[in-house]
Amino acid sequence: QSALTQPASVSGSPGQSITISCTGISSDIGGYNYVSWYQQHPGKAPKLMIYNVSNRPSGVSNRFSGSKSGNTASLTISGLQAEDEADYYCSSFTSSNIVFGGGTRLTVL
Amino acid sequence: QITLKESGPTLVKPTQTLTLTCTLSGFSLSTTGVGVGWIRQPPGKALEWLALIYWDDDKRYSPSLKSRLTVTKDTSKNQVVLTMTNMDPVDTATYYCAHRGMGESFDYWGQGTLVTVSS
């Protein structure tokens, strides 16, 4: 299985909204509503931000939202804040396995 | 609360077998629905899923590494063990174990352990 495709980097100014895309195929993102998003700050373990495409775990800000259309999932962060600067990874279930994306570095300008 | 902690060698030689232990707290792998996964991250690179073991001893492996991986559980010790054979310098990475959450996500992660493969 190949890694999901994410842009290497995105950037935005405080208060703005950004969207990170995650593209797969019909046997992973397109076939299941099991897309997750993780935030990772340098030197830290990943943190779950979104599961089942659009659900937020308890304690995650509602500025984070997820969606999916066909074989592409998206993470949107609204009202960008300095602490949102981090690496973001998508993942998807795929016919009994799990695959991650290549990661996107978010820079808050 | 749920916590996980990885332990094992920090340095292994090429061709050796790596054995990592994940000690669980706040949950049990004997509980229906529970799973524990292993994920690794080479320095400066992306996350890579390795394996997942479920409460019923069902096991899933990354297709690209399946021949080298074995995951087992010891419910009496509340531990999960990952072994990876024939280690190579490209396997140098931080290895994480994580609690399986809703939708095959990972909602709780260990702190990770850096394993360096070098002679």
Q: Which two tokens stand for residue B81?
A: 């063990």
CA distance B5 to A41: 19
**pLDDT of A102 strictly over 90:** yes
- What average pLDDT does range A100-107 have in this prediction? 98
Q: How far is A13 from chain B (nearest CA, A)?
A: 25
List the single residue in A53, A55, A100 with the smallest CB-CB distance to B48: A100
pLDDT of residue A24: 96
pLDDT of residue A1: 66
Q: Is B103 within 8 Å of A38 when comparing Cβ atoms?
A: no
List the single residue in B64, B105, B109 with the smallest CB-CB distance to A45: B109
Residue B90 at interface with chain A, using a CB cutoff of 8 Å: no
The low-confidence residues of chain B, meaning pLDDT below 50, are none
Question: What would the pLDDT profile of A47-101 be if each residue is shown by its tens digit?
Answer: 999 999 999 999 999 999 999 999 999 999 999 999 999 999 999 999 889 999 9
CA-based angle B53:B57:B63, to the nearest 5?
A: 45
**Best to test chain B binding among A37, A48, A105 (most B CBs inside 10 Å):** A48
Cα-Cα-Cα-Cα torsion A41, A42, A43, A48, nearest 10 degrees, comes to 20
Q: SS3 helix, strand, coil % of chain B, rounded to 5?
A: 10, 50, 40
Question: What would the pLDDT profile of A1-47 be if each residue is shown by its tens digit?
Answer: 678 999 999 999 999 999 999 999 989 999 999 999 999 999 999 99
Residue A60 at interface with chain B, using a CB cutoff of 8 Å: no
